[in-house]
């Protein structure tokens, strides 16, 4: 699970750097859904959720520019 999440995070960052904000946001949303539904919730999963939310907010900010 964590390796798939890391791959999506890396791919999302790559898309973000190439100004493909919509696709990047979709990758980060997939990560957010993955970690919000993961059981049991731990401090590590909470860290992943916060990172995904921050990445989505970054995409939203860049799309609004």
Q: For 8-50, what is each residue's pLDDT tens digit? A: 999 999 999 999 999 999 999 999 999 999 999 999 999 999 9
Predicted confidence (pLDDT) at residue 1 exceeds the cutoff of 90? no
Q: Hey, how many other C-beta atoms are within 10 angstroms of the C-beta on 23? A: 15
Closest CA to 32 of 15, 53, 11: 53
- pLDDT value of residue 35: 96
**pLDDT tens-digit series, residues 46-62:** 999 999 999 999 999 99
Contact 49, 36 (CB under 8 A): yes
- pLDDT value of residue 19: 96
- Residue 5: pLDDT band (50, 70, 90) is very high
């Amino acid at each position: 699970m964590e390796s798939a999440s890391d791959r999506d995070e890396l791919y999302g960052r790559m898309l973000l750097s190439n100004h493909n904000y919509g696709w990047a946001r979709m990758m980060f949303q997939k990560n957010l859904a993955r970690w919000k539904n993961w059981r049991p919730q731990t401090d590590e999963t909470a860290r992943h959720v916060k990172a995904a939310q921050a990445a989505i907010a970054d995409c939203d900010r860049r799309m609004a520019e």
